Amino acid sequence: MFRSHTCGELRGEHVGQEVTLCGWVDSSRDHGGAVFIDLRDRYGKTQVVAGPESGADVVEQVGRLRGEDVVKFVGTVAFRPEGTRNPKLATGAIEVRVIRVELLNKCKTPPFTPGQADLPGEDLRLKHRYLDLRRESMQRTLLLRSRIIKSMRDYFEEHGFIDVETPILGRSTPEGARDYLVPSRIHHGKMYALPQSPQLYKQILMVAGYDRYVQVARCFRDEDLRADRQPEFTQLDMEMSFVDADDVIGMIDGLVVKLAKEILELEVKLPLPRMTYDEAMRRFGHDAPDLRFGMELIDCTDLAAEAEFRVFRAAAEAGQVVRGIRAPGGAARYSRKGIDELTEFVQQDFGAKGLAWFRVEEDGKLWSPISKNFADSLLARFGQRLEAQPGDLLLLVADTWEVSCKALAALRKRLGAELKLYDPRQMHFSWVVEFPMFDFDHEEQRWVAMHHPFTAPRRQDLAMLGTDPGKCRAQAYDLVINGSEAGGGTVRIHDQQIQQQVFGLLGIDQEAARERFGFLLDALQLGAPPHGGIALGIDRMVMLFGGLDNIRDCIAFPKTQRATDMMTGAPGTVDRRQLDELGIKTVGP
C-alpha cells in the first residue's frame, strides 16, 4: 500500500501522526515560501502544505506541481492555525505538513479539470470520461448506483431468489425492438441477437422449477436514443412461479420501501397507490402519470357540442373529444407569445390541430380571442367544469382521443414543471395496472401486443379474446416513479391453448411461432407453472433517485445519441480478414 489514509479521512484526532497520502492535485496556491495543495481522491480532499520546515527543496518540488498530477505525500497531520480552518472541507480542520513528496505521474495539461466551475461540453466529457468520472457528482452517482444494486440484490436474496445468468448471445425474436445482431463465424449468414431482455430465458427457468429468479441483466435495443434511453441498459429482472399480479406487485412494493428507506431515508406507505391504465389515460392522458401534482384532464366534449365555435362543435359531432387542463396562475406566466409557443409545441410534436385557451379574469369570467363564439352562460359552464380560478389559464384540445391524450399529457408535464406545481425533490411511487392486451396498428391493419406476445389476459377477459380483443385487459403492471416508467411486468401465459389464440390474433401462424420460439412452446407443454415477473430499469431508477435528468450521467461509459462511444470510437471498422471469416461483405457507406 502506497498510502496510510485516504484524502477524506483525516481529522483532528490524527494530529501529530505521520501519514502518507496519494491522490490527484486538485488545486494549488503558491505563495513562494509556502505552497498549498488540495490533494483529491474519491474519498475527499485534504490540504497539504509545504513550508519552511519542509525544506527549500520540497517547497520547490511542490511548487512545480500542476492540476491532475498524481502525487504521494509523506507528512505530519497538524491543526491549521486559528482562523484558517476551512468549513467547506470535511478535512478542513487539519492539514498535512509535507516531509517528502513523490511525483508518481506527471499529468499533461488536461482538456478540463474535475474541479472547474463551468462544466465542459458533454462531448468533451465523454471523450475524456476518465477525467469526467473524477468529478464529485459523477462519483456520487456511481456510488448511488452501486448502493441501489446492492440493496436490490440483498432484498431478493432475503426473499429466497436465486441469481441466474442468461445468455448474451441469443436468438432474434420478432416483435418488440430492433435487435443488435452478432454474425456467426461458424454459420455464415446466421446471426445471434443480443437480448432485449432475458424474457424468454426467465420463463424457461420457471418451467425448470427455479421458482424465484433474479438477475441484474444487461439489455440491448437498437432504437433511437433519448435523454432517458441508452442502446444498452441494465434491468433488475425477476420472475416468480405460482403467483398472480398482486404477488409480484407486493414483492416490489417491499423493495420500494427498502430502497426509499436505505437510499433516500424516506418512509413510504404501503400499498403503493394503483390506477388502471384506462383511468390513467382518462385523468392524465398518459400511462405513467406524474402524480406529484394534479392538473388533471377534464372532458368538455358535451359542452363543446353546444358551442358556436366550429372547431369545438365539429370535433364533438365527429365523435372526437374536447378536453382541457387548468394551469393555476398560468395567465400571468404565459403571454400571447408564450401561448403561441405552447400551441406550436402541441402541433409540431403531437399532431394537435390547435390549442384553444382562455384566461380567467379577476371577476371569474373567461376571456379569449375565441370567446365571442361562446354564449356567456356556456363560458361560465366551461369555467365551472374546469374549476377555473382568477389568474388561471385554461387550455383545451379538440381532437381524437389519442391526440388529446398525447398533447394534453405533454402540456401537463411541461406546465407542471414551468409553473413549479411540485417540489422536484419529492418522490412519488405508484402502479399502473390492467394494460390493454393489444394495440391496433392502423398502418399494418393488425393487432400488435402492447407488452409482448406471452402476456396473460385477465381471467375475466378471456372470453373477449375471441370477440373483442381491443377491450381485453392484460395482467400487466408498470411501476411509475415521478411520471417515469421505472419498470414493467406481466403474468405470463402458461397455457398452450391461450398462447395459440394470442399468436393467432397477432397474425403469427403456427409455423412461424414454431420457427421462432418453438422451444418456449415446447416448454409450456412440459410442466410450466403459472408465473409472472417484472423488470426494473436500473439506470432510470438511479436517475430518479439521484434527481438527474440524463441517463448518461448514471452510466460510467454511456453512448452518445447516435450510439457511439466517444472515448473508444465504437463502433469502429474491422479488418477485411475479420469480415471474410464471418462471410460478410459490406455495401456502404
Near RNA by CB under 7 A: residue from 154, 158, 340, 349: 349
* Residue 220 binds to RNA (criterion: CB under 7 A): no
Closer residue to RNA in complex, CB, 74/89:
89
Q: How far is the CB of 265 from RNA (least distance, A)?
A: 29
Closer residue to RNA in complex, CB, 221/359:
221
- Of 398, 322, 312, residue with least CA distance to 354: 398
Closer residue to RNA in complex, CB, 144/555:
555
Q: How far is the CB of 67 from RNA (least distance, A)?
A: 5
What is the Cα–Cα distance from 132 to 124, expressed in whole angstroms? 9
Per-residue CA distances from 146 to 20, 151, 162, 252, 556 (Å):
28, 9, 20, 19, 11
Strand partners, 534: 238, 489
- Of 493, 572, 436, residue with least CA distance to 206: 493
What is the Cα–Cα distance from 104 to 268, expressed in whole angstroms? 49
Closer residue to RNA in complex, CB, 170/176:
176
> Which three-class secondary structure state does DSSP give residue 381?
helix
What is the Cα–Cα distance from 276 to 137, expressed in whole angstroms? 38
Q: How far is the CB of 13 from RNA (least distance, A)?
A: 18
What is the Cα–Cα distance from 95 to 48, expressed in whole angstroms? 6
Q: How far is the CB of 270 from RNA (least distance, A)?
A: 24
Binders in 141-180 for RNA, by CB under 7 A: 176-178
How is residue 140 annotated by DSSP?
A: H
Closer residue to RNA in complex, CB, 392/399:
399
Strand partners, 39: 25, 46
With both helix axes pointing from N to C terminus, report the angle between 277-284 and 401-418 in degrees, rounded to the nearest 10: 70
Q: How far is the CB of 379 from RNA (least distance, A)?
A: 32
Near RNA by CB under 7 A: residue from 61, 62, 96, 112: 112
Near RNA by CB under 7 A: residue from 11, 12, 18, 33: 33
Stretch binding RNA (CB under 7 A), from 302-310, 323-331, 345-353, 364-372: 345-353
What is the Cα–Cα distance from 554 to 542, expressed in whole angstroms? 6
Q: How far is the CB of 454 from RNA (least distance, A)?
A: 12
- Burial code (b: 16+ CB inside 10 Å, e: under 16) for 251-270 equals bbbebbbbbbeebeeeebee
* Residue 478 binds to RNA (criterion: CB under 7 A): yes
Binders in 397-416 for RNA, by CB under 7 A: 406, 410
Stretch binding RNA (CB under 7 A), from 108-116, 248-256, 263-271, 357-365: 108-116
> Can you say how many angstroms the Cα of residue 527 is from the centroid of all Cα atoms in its chain?
37
Q: How far is the CB of 79 from RNA (least distance, A)?
A: 9
Binders in 418-457 for RNA, by CB under 7 A: 435, 450-452
Near RNA by CB under 7 A: residue from 40, 202, 212, 221: 221
The full DSSP string for 450-492 is SS-TTBPBPGGGTTHHHH-GGG-BBSEEEEEETTEEEEEEEEB
Q: How far is the CB of 36 from RNA (least distance, A)?
A: 3
- From first CA to last CA, the distance across the chain in angstroms is 52
Q: How far is the CB of 205 from RNA (least distance, A)?
A: 19
Binders in 47-76 for RNA, by CB under 7 A: 47, 49, 51-52, 63, 66-67
Near RNA by CB under 7 A: residue from 1, 2, 13, 81: 81
Binders in 287-326 for RNA, by CB under 7 A: 287
Binders in 240-279 for RNA, by CB under 7 A: none
Closer residue to RNA in complex, CB, 192/312:
192
Near RNA by CB under 7 A: residue from 12, 102, 116, 420: 116
Binders in 177-196 for RNA, by CB under 7 A: 177-178, 196
What is the Cα–Cα distance from 213 to 295, expressed in whole angstroms? 40
Closer residue to RNA in complex, CB, 121/507:
121
* Residue 516 binds to RNA (criterion: CB under 7 A): no
What is the Cα–Cα distance from 266 to 439, expressed in whole angstroms? 38
Binders in 123-142 for RNA, by CB under 7 A: 123-124, 126
- Burial code (b: 16+ CB inside 10 Å, e: under 16) for 190-213 equals eebbbbbbbbbbbbbbbbeeebbb
Stretch binding RNA (CB under 7 A), from 32-40, 144-152, 299-307, 388-396: 32-40
Query: Using an 8 Å Cβ cutoff, are 542 and 138 in contact?
Result: no
Binders in 531-570 for RNA, by CB under 7 A: 535, 550, 552, 560-562, 564, 566
- Of 259, 162, 276, residue with least CA distance to 215: 162
Query: Using an 8 Å Cβ cutoff, are 437 and 452 in contact?
Result: no
Near RNA by CB under 7 A: residue from 76, 93, 122, 385: 122
Closer residue to RNA in complex, CB, 221/492:
221
Helices (H), 159-298: 199-207, 245-264, 277-284
* Residue 342 binds to RNA (criterion: CB under 7 A): no
What is the Cα–Cα distance from 170 to 198, expressed in whole angstroms? 10
Q: How far is the CB of 268 from RNA (least distance, A)?
A: 24
The site that binds RNA (CB under 7 A) totals a number of residues, namely 76
